[in-house]
Structure 1
Amino acid sequence: MGKLDFVVMAVFALLIFGIGLTFTRVGSKSGQAFFEAGGETPWWINGLSLFISYFSAGTFVVWGSIAYKHGLVANAIQLTMAISGLIVTFFIAGRWKKTGVATAAEYIGKRFGAAEKQFYTYMTLLLSLFTTAAVLYPVGKMVHVATPYSLETCIIVIGLIIVVYTAAGGLWAVLVTDVVQFVILTAAVLIVIPIAFSQIGGPANLVAKAPPHFFEPFNQDYTFGFMLAFIVYQTFYIGGNWSYVQRYTSVSNQKNSKKVAGIFTILYFVSPFIWMIPPMIYRVINPNLQGLESEDAYMMLIQKVMPAGLIGLVLAGMVSATSSKANTTINMASTVFAQDIYKNLLRPKASEKEVIWMARFFTLVLVF
């Protein structure tokens, strides 16, 4: 990477940081504004946020590695997410809004009682610690591969940027930055694909030079049965994960909740065929990656084919998209702590302003 790439990444980071801080006043108006974005957010914003929040470094590292090794199998795995999204659209998303609750824990408490709610809350907080770490590590690794900075430095800088705007603006900051990240990432990947194809002489050569069985949707490791099981898993995850439940409950009505899941479904029917093309092309360019080296196929392709400046743009888009999963998790964890532990258990008479500040405090504690 050259100096221009670092400048592009720095400008992009400042842009996301500035957008997040813009919503500090909005998030400070009330607890509903901070935790639920006012309960009236546009469904298309929530839908794009749900889609981009579902990204993680796995999209580019894990699934990219599978695409490099096995080809179309990676597309088939990600299409299971679209099928699960369709199930959530018709049967689950609207029901969350119908419950009238702000959080999944609140629903657990109404349905099963206070003890079960507390257990669920504590387990969610514990899981969020590992989830945040699991996201920040591979995001930091992506930047580390493309830059001279240490892995620890990359993780710390990315974590600081995420935590500050999430703590300041709450769910609104998360939603709006997610939309910006979606636009940048889509543009970045669409730039990569034609340039990468030009390196191998076009799509026909991808088909001609790919290894045997590269365009089969299943193999001995990822069977049809695996895909069915993954659909079941994804349905529970998309429809029941607390972070994503926020997307269904923070819109105005049940119909809009279904639209949120509907956007996710449509985009996941289309996106796998776009996201997984670059590492598949790199298999033709460099078929010699072994073991964990295949996890770097995406970044290796970008560094090989992209001109100065665009490398920084693409990397910024990929990092911001994977970081979106982290800010979603962090916002969810702060909501859990502030509403379900601090207000409901420790200080029932706490004001909304006090609860919001505790959420911000816990956001900082969670990352550090």
Structure 2
Amino acid sequence: MTTIWIILILYMIINLGIGIYSRTKISNSSDYLLAGRRIGVLLTAGTLAATEIGGGSSVGVAAKAYGSWGLSAGWYVTSAGLGIILVSFIAPRLRRAMATTVPEIIGRRFGPSSHIVTLVLSFLANLALAGVQITASATIINVLTGLSQNVAIILSGVVLVFYTVIGGMWSVTITDIIHFIVVLVGFTIAIPFAIHSAGGWGHVVSLLPPGQLGFTKVGWKTIIGLILMYFMTFSTGQEAVQRYFAAKDERTAVWGSILCGVLMALYSFVPAILGLVALAIFPHIDPNNAVATVATKLTPSLIAGLVMAAVISCTLSAGSGDLLGAATVFVKDIYQHYFRPDMTDEQITKFSKSAVLVFGIIAIIISLGSKQIIPMLVFAFTMRSAGPFAAFIFGLTWKKSTKNAGIWSIMIGSIVGFYWEYLNEPYGIMGIVVGAVASSLSFLIVVAIEKALGHPDAPPAIPE
């Protein structure tokens, strides 16, 4: 256990050191919020992958594999990789927009009403997602130290907030590369050690419930739904889109997105296998503790330390992106847009840091109240994407879009998505998918009606 602690402490010191170093690269608000819009292909791919491989894609996938999904839980991350590859088709338009937030683009295209509704949904979703990452970190601290989950959540949140406040997007981007390498290496090399200590793969399989090794046990309907969900949430999620805004040019945004998808697919089934090993050897633990239990009980201390550092990497990357996203939306789309349009660049940077601190505290409170991972992820994805999806995509790509189509599609899609989740997703179809379909249909119907009535188009969002 001492070795594990040494590795974790050193890893945290390295990350904090990078955060402090990154402060030297921040001279304006663009540097703090968008890394100066000059990150390359590898940095774009790495920061996207590290941001999206968070608690849900590591601790959450292992928990699902431990439960009803079995090996097919790996599709949760494979689908994310495919979803972000689909985003590459609109990545040039995202970068070309020269925007800072998702609500900013929707506001340009569809006016104040659409802007206000979207910024509220985006802001709240990012806070919820930050809470999820804090919960994922807390599960590791809980297993390692025996501290209560509430205390572990507070400790995790404090580290996450401090780390994010220090360096902004530059700090996040640089450390994301380190995080992703640690995640990929740590989880992958843990598998052979864990299987060997468990008595071999044959012994593990013999202890698993029937059907747990089904590659598509979760069902194609869920797999396709996950791909659609991730395309929708990555194309409208502030923490993801902010990375495309930060790319140095359109080509970088495209290839960074494609490379990210490939990297995520390579990693996807690794945590699922660890979850299966946990189920076979430790059948009565909390599913959220599957990764930590396997690492500490079945692998050497050095490997266990890497795995624990990998999980902390996931949550640091995803959580910092979510917090920075929430702060960016609040500062740019609420405070500056509606209350202080005369803010200086220095004031924007300082206010952004204060916003990260305040929203970090709120995220800790959310984590204390929920203590869930994947259910909260899906809820947040539905919140930010079900309604705004059609307005954002059509607004970027279709000149014939109209203002009323924007606000009606956002409202109808959000209401339908939330109601579908309230009904516990009948027929196994996700609320975000149903909401986005309703959003798209209502958008097209309103455009058709407005065209028939001779109403003008909305102004273009992107320079031609």
- Using structure 2 for the length normalisation, give the TM-score: 0.73
Q: Identify the residue that residue 227 of structure 1 maps to in structure 2.
A: 223
Q: Which residue of 2 aligns with 1:351?
A: 344
Cα pair 1:143 1:315 within 8 Å, conserved: no
Write out aligned runs for 1:1-368 (5 A): 2-27=1-26, 29-69=27-67, 70-89=69-88, 91-207=89-205, 210-219=208-217, 222-286=218-282, 288-289=283-284, 293-368=286-361
In the TM superposition, residue 80 of structure 1 has moved relative to its aligned partner by: 1.8
CA gap of 1:140–1:282, structure 2 versus 1, over 3 A, is closer
Cα displacement string for residues 300-324 of structure 1 (whole angstroms, at most 9, x for unaligned residues): 1111122334433321221221221
Question: 2: distance between equivalents of 1:166 and 1:59?
Answer: 21
Q: Which moved more, 1:73-82 or 1:323-332?
A: 73-82
Does the residue aligned with 1:165 lie in a helix, a strand or coil?
Answer: helix
Q: State the alpha-carbon separation in 1 of the partners of residues 174 and 87 from structure 2.
A: 23
Cα distance, 1:78 vs. partner? 2.7
Q: Distance in 2 between matches of 1:207 and 1:24?
A: 50
CA RMSD of aligned residues (A): 2.0
SS of 1:23's equivalent in the other structure is: helix
Note the residue ranges of structure 2 that are not aligned, 5 or more in a row.
362-464
Question: Aligned equivalents of 1:163 and 1:77: distance in 2?
Answer: 27
Shift in alpha-carbon separation, 1:165–1:68, aligned structure 2, 3 A:
closer
CA distance in 2, matches of 1:232, 1:59: 16
**Residues 241-273 of structure 1 deviation map (CA, whole Å, 9 limit, x = unaligned):** 111001111112211111121122101221113
Q: Which AA in structure 2 matches 1:112?
A: F
- Asked whether the equivalents of residues 71 and 273 of structure 2 are also in contact (C-alpha less than 8 Å), the reply is no
Q: Which amino acid aligns with 2:321?
A: T
Q: Take 1:104 and 1:4, find their aligned partners in 2: how far apart are those partners? A: 43
**How far off is 1:157 after superposition?**
2.5
Instruction: Quote the Cα distance in structure 2 between the aligned partners of 1:66 and 1:153.
Output: 25
Given the two structures, how large is their TM-score scaled by the length of structure 1?
0.91
Name the stretch that deviates more: 259-268 or 64-73. 64-73
Deviations 1:13-51 (A, max 9, x none): 111111111111212x11211111111111211211111
Shift of 1:4: 2.9
Gap regions ≥5 residues in structure 1: none
- Which is bigger in relative contact order (C-alpha 8 A, separation at least 6)? 1
Q: Distance in 2 between matches of 1:75 and 1:299?
A: 18
CA distance in 2: counterparts of 1:303 and 1:228, whole angstroms:
35
Answer yes or no: is the 8 Å Cα contact 2:74–2:270 preserved in 1: no
Q: AA paired with 1:348?
A: P
Q: CA deviation at 1:87?
A: 1.5
Q: 1:227: Cα distance to partner?
A: 1.6
Give, in angstroms, the shift of residue 344 of structure 1: 2.1
